[in-house]
Amino acid sequence: MPLVLAATPLGDSRDASPRLVAALADADVIAAEDTRRLRALAAALDVTPGGRIVSFYEDVETARLPKLLEALHEGETVLLVTDAGMPSVSDPGYRLVAACVAEDLPVTCLPGPSAVTTALAVSGLPSARFCFEGFAPRKAGEKAKWFASLAGEQRTVVFFESPHRLAATLGEAAEALGERRAAVCRELTKTYEEVRRGTLPELAKWAAEGVRGEITVVLEGAEPATVRVDDLVEEVASRVAAGERLKSAAADVAGVAGVSRKELYDAVLAARRG
């Protein structure tokens, strides 16, 4: 039988799918990030978990793997749930899935709520292309490097942050990225849900007053840089001088800059002719 990854409600138990309710009743083993929260969810859904319940949070993930893999090898169904949202998305689960894949054990998923896609949908920012960055780095130096790496990211960026670090993070983001638009999504699907939209400086000022709850931040991507082919000729020439083939150097530089490979190649040849 398979490992079943099941998305759980972000806050409102009515978001639970009928398949999740059935899985809670039928699974042989339920691996839960927080067993107390699992029992509270089951009570809210009026379902009695049918199998044995084991804790499966970050600090015990590795230690729990052998027994869970053993259960799967013996034909039992293992249901994995976290406190809210999809297992393995900034929550326990990845190690168990990877172990199942390595041992050719079946893995399936009961889709459902996700703070990432929910925040992206309500943010009002472009959603055709996005990236998820997990939790923002805690240390100031690491966070500065992280924002620097996002300066040229053209996709919309989604990340998590704790409420007591939010103001500082948004302030650092404003310093690094300027007037970039963003949305702070707080307590999604819960009683006090709030979506605050604005520029990074505006949101940093708002957050300085104090924010509570689960936080997901959606950050606008960078504007596409305007690059002239002639500005890239010297870079290609330097790589060729270092021993790289002209065609491969031109293709690589053009791909990164988003310009025509042929135009750049022809520009380098023209420069050589003087």
Q: Which amino acid is at 166?
A: L
DSSP 137: P
Q: Which two tokens stand for residue 198?
A: 């604005």
40-44, 60-64, 169-173, 256-260: least confidently modelled range: 256-260
- Residue at token pair 């505006």: 202
Nearest to 159 by CA among 111, 115, 212: 115
Tens digits of residue pLDDT in 189-211: 999 999 999 999 999 999 999 99
Label residue 28 by pLDDT band (50, 70, 90): very high
pLDDT tops 90 at residue 155: yes
Looking at residue 151, its pLDDT comes to 87
Q: What is the mean pLDDT of residues 3-13?
A: 97
Nearest to 206 by CA among 227, 186, 235: 186
pLDDT, averaged across the chain? 94
**Contact predicate 190/213, CB 8 Å:** yes
**Contact predicate 64/87, CB 8 Å:** no
Nearest to 206 by CA among 239, 263, 167, 180: 167
Looking at residue 227, its pLDDT comes to 77
Tens digits of residue pLDDT in 90-145: 999 999 999 999 999 999 999 999 999 999 999 999 999 999 999 999 998 899 99
Which residues, in sequence order, are CB contacts of 61 under 8 Å at separation 6+? 92, 95, 96
Secondary structure of residue 233 in the 3-state scheme: helix
pLDDT tops 90 at residue 79: yes
> CA-to-CA distance for 112 and 127, rounded, in angstroms?
19
Which residues, in sequence order, are CB contacts of 194 under 8 Å at separation 6+? 185, 186, 187
pLDDT tops 70 at residue 225: no
- Give CA torsion, residues 233, 235, 238, 240, to 10 deg: -70
> CA-to-CA distance for 147 and 144, rounded, in angstroms?
5
